[in-house]
Structure 1
Amino acid sequence: MSVPRYAYLGPAGTFTEAALRQVVGPDDALYIPQVDVVSAIEAVRSGAADFAVVAIESTVEGGVTATLDSLAVGTPLVLLREVLVPVDFTLAAAPGTDLADVRRVAAHPHAWVQCRRWLAAHLPGAVHVPATSNTAPAALIADSLVVELVPAGDRVAGGPLGFDAALVPPAAVEPYGLAVLADHVADNPSLVTRFVVVGRPGAVPAATGADKTTLDVHLPSNDAGALLTMLEQFAVRGVNLSRIESRPVGDSLGRYSFSIDAEGHIAEERMGEALMGLHRVCPHVRFLGSYPRADDVRATVHIGTSDRDFLDAREWLGQLRDGRAH
């Protein structure tokens, strides 16, 4: 039997790979590293992968815009599961490098932001060299070490790395043969990144009582109170929002969509009623899946918003319509 194929942000050793390992082990799936999250998502759309694991939110940066924007357009995909990964960073370099030698630091943009106070205090004036992933610079350093072992006359042509050190996951230090210049350089010791498993639409995972529903919603243009109207669809039905972020639609200035995580499952009456309300008042609603919460926190169900409350109200209305109640 063939194993499922998972695209993820590589190379090996990224936090994304750590998230993927929580989902399925390497013995039970084919790991397909990608250069960025958009490529991972597109691998699912093209059929090159069955699933993708991508970052969607962090405690410092909020939503990962590349993921949100990629899911909002194109062939519809859905989120099937989420996992949480604690995040820490190590400043590492090729053996023999001293901290005093560091002038240019390679880092994924999110890593740079999450370590900027430490960098300002210990490497003032250091230049950021953007990297495509948290382990891409580690792989470059490892490749340069291999080249240095080859006699000068046999080396392949290539320029310098362009950086002196890199911000990498602690787990990437040993596999890539790096030297540690400083440990625990993240500014926030409570850093966590939320990852999601992306797949093709199909049967929605069953409700667990501790679920999220993710949506992308557009508002009517030039309609005063449109945002309030959209939010009311959730509020009046007792659906709490754990995340809401605006993203430009991209066709003109001033037009935005809203990426939303709502507490609950599409199979629940209150969430279904909220989605129907959105469908009535918003020009575009993209359902991106209902799936179990990684933290297993159950939604608070207020008086009048349980499934039984909605079903009783619907039955009462039916009785009124056919003259069986007054």
Structure 2
Amino acid sequence: MTTTVAFLGPRGTFTEMAMQAFAERGCFDSPEPAGLPVSSPAEALAAVVEGRADYACVAIENSVDGAVTPTFDALAAAEGVQIYHEFALEISFALMRGDATSSTTPPRLSTHPVAWQQVKNSAQQLVGEVEFIPASSNAAAAEAVAKGEADYAAAPEAAAALWGLEVVASDVADVPGARTQFVVVGPAGIPTERTGNDRTSVVFTLPNVPGSLVGALSEFSLRGVDLTRIESRPTRTGLGTYRFHADLVGHIDDAIVAEALRALHMRCESVQYLGSWPHSSTPPEQPDRSTEREAATAWVAAMREGRR
């Protein structure tokens, strides 16, 4: 049976490359998944929720521009999804063009807004001042050039071949060695096996009282649980209301992580568990922790049902 994976399209995006890398690492139920191109991270997760896709592959963080906020917002809004794997892909852009005789003044350069932050200085050194045309993805920018809607695109080099474009320059980047972190998201279920080098992610909201955030974070520090990231995003229910995304070092099967999350739940208005998965540098290691897994899985199920 073929596994369907939703990814930011069209064909030729870095997200499709990440999906293929996940497949090579055995992260899906079949070694050659069928890709479902979509227009946004929200649509990718919606495809999973609605059963049109088994998994979604989405970008979550870039080493140059930071968090990919549309993915954060989509994860918080989607119901019944969970992260299972991560992979950091090295990003290398090519500057490409179509018919050079049809260029406008200033020339129009299209790419994804996150990519624009990584290439704008280098691209303008190559072609001069440009008019930036935001695209839903880097491959969509290449498609726009092919349709005459832009003069240049910054995209994966593979997109040039897909859309019949000329590569003007390769390895275009303001910061060499940039990497983007991608994750595999699927229906909520049993977390990926603990490896001893794992990450856990949650989203939570707090009562609007003095010290509520400090108190919530103290549940991690008191137990020696390391936070690798905390981001605030508006709840969109009113000014001054936020939800918090936190990534932790450790797995839900780790006693100190499970205890910290139980304590966090007692302080919060809501807690959404987004999964525990191996850090991308993790070598395989599978200790027997079945008793802890049963307890942790039961706690996660109770939390999702709104019980404390």
TM bucket normalised to smaller: 0.7 to 0.9
**Residues 80-100 of structure 1, C-alpha deviation per residue, up to 9 Å, x if partnerless?**
100111001111001545999
Question: How many Å apart are 1:297 and its aligned residue?
Answer: 8.4
Letter in 2 for 1:21: Q
Q: 1:169-318 to 2 correspondence within 5 Å?
A: 169-221=156-208, 223-296=209-282
1:139 is matched with which residue: 139, 143, 154?
143
Pairing 1:123-134 to 2, within 5 Å after superposition: 123-134=127-138
Q: CA contact under 8 A between 1:115 and 1:186: conserved in structure 2?
A: yes
Q: Distance in 1 between matches of 2:159 and 2:31?
A: 20
C-alpha separation in 1, matches of 2:116 and 2:100: 23
Range moving further from structure 2, 84-93 or 182-191: 182-191
Q: How has the CA–CA distance of structure 1 residues 27 and 282 changed in structure 2, closer, same or farther, with 3 Å as cutoff? A: closer
Number of the residue aligned with 1:89 = 93
1:55 aligns with 2:66: no
RMSD: 2.2
Give the distance between the partners of 1:83 and 1:168, measured in 2 at CA.
19
Structure 1 Cα separation of the partners of residues 119 and 225 of structure 2? 35
Distance 1:86 1:285 in 2: 32
Letter in 2 for 1:9: L
**Alpha-carbon contact 1:102-1:164 (below 8 Å) kept:** no
SS of equivalent residue, structure 2 residue 141 = helix
Letter in 2 for 1:133: S
What is the letter of the counterpart of residue 12 of structure 2? G
- After TM superposition, give the deviation of residue 58 of structure 1 in Å: 0.7
* 8 A Cα contact 1:102 1:123, kept in partner: no
Q: Encode CA deviations 1:263-318: one digit per residue, 9 max, x unaligned.
A: 000010010011011011111110000011112289xxxxxxxx9xxxxxxxxxxx
CA distance in 2, matches of 1:9, 1:49: 13
Aligned length: 280
Structure 2 counterpart of 1:156: none
CA offsets per residue over residues 160-205 of structure 1, 9 Å max, x none?
A: x332111111222233221122222211112100000000111111
After TM superposition, which residue ranges in structure 1, 4 or more long, deviate above 3 angstroms? 95-102, 119-125
1:290 alignment partner, SS class: strand
In 1, Cα distance between the equivalents of 2:87 and 2:267?
A: 33
Q: Partners in 2 of 1:226 and 1:134 — Cα distance?
A: 40
* Residue number in structure 2 paired with 1:152: none
- The gaps in structure 1 that reach 5 residues or longer are 145-160, 299-306, 308-326
How has the CA–CA distance of structure 1 residues 27 and 212 changed in structure 2, closer, same or farther, with 3 Å as cutoff?
closer
Higher CA-based Rg: 1
Amino acid at match of 1:272: A
2:117 to 106, 113, 132: 113
Query: What is the rounded CA distance, in whole Å, between the counterparts of 2:103 and 2:38 in structure 1?
Result: 31
Query: In percent, how many aligned pairs have the same letter?
Result: 38
Q: Tell me the secondary structure at the aligned position of residue 112 of structure 1.
A: helix
* Aligned residue identity for 1:38: A
Counterparts in 2 of 1:286 and 1:27: CA distance versus 1, 3 Å: closer
Aligned to 1:30: 34
Deviation of 1:39 (Å): 0.8
What letter matches 1:7 in structure 2? A
TM-score by length of 2: 0.85
Q: Distance in 2 between the 1:281 and 1:120 partners?
A: 50
Query: Counterpart of 2:243 in 1: which secondary structure?
Result: strand
Q: Whole-Å Cα distance in 2 between the matches of residues 286 and 240 of structure 1?
A: 19
Contact 2:104 2:151 (C-alpha < 8 Å) held by counterparts: no
Q: 1:253 to 1:174 in 2, by over 3 A?
A: same
Q: Judging changes above 3 Å, is the alpha-carbon distance between structure 1 residues 98 and 242 closer, same or farther for their aligned structure 2 residues?
A: farther
Listed one character per residue, the Cα deviations across residues 187-239 of structure 1 (whole Å, up to 9, x for unaligned) are 11121000000001111112100100011011211x11111111111111111
Q: 1:283 corresponds to which letter in structure 2?
A: E
Alignment partners' CA distance in 1, 2:270 and 2:139? 38
In structure 2, do the counterparts of structure 1 residues 99 and 14 end up closer, same or farther at CA, with 3 Å as the change threshold? same
Alignment pair present for 1:73 and 2:77: yes
Amino acid of the residue matched to residue 287 of structure 1? Y
Task: Please say which of residues 91-100 and 211-220 is displaced more in the overlay.
Answer: 91-100
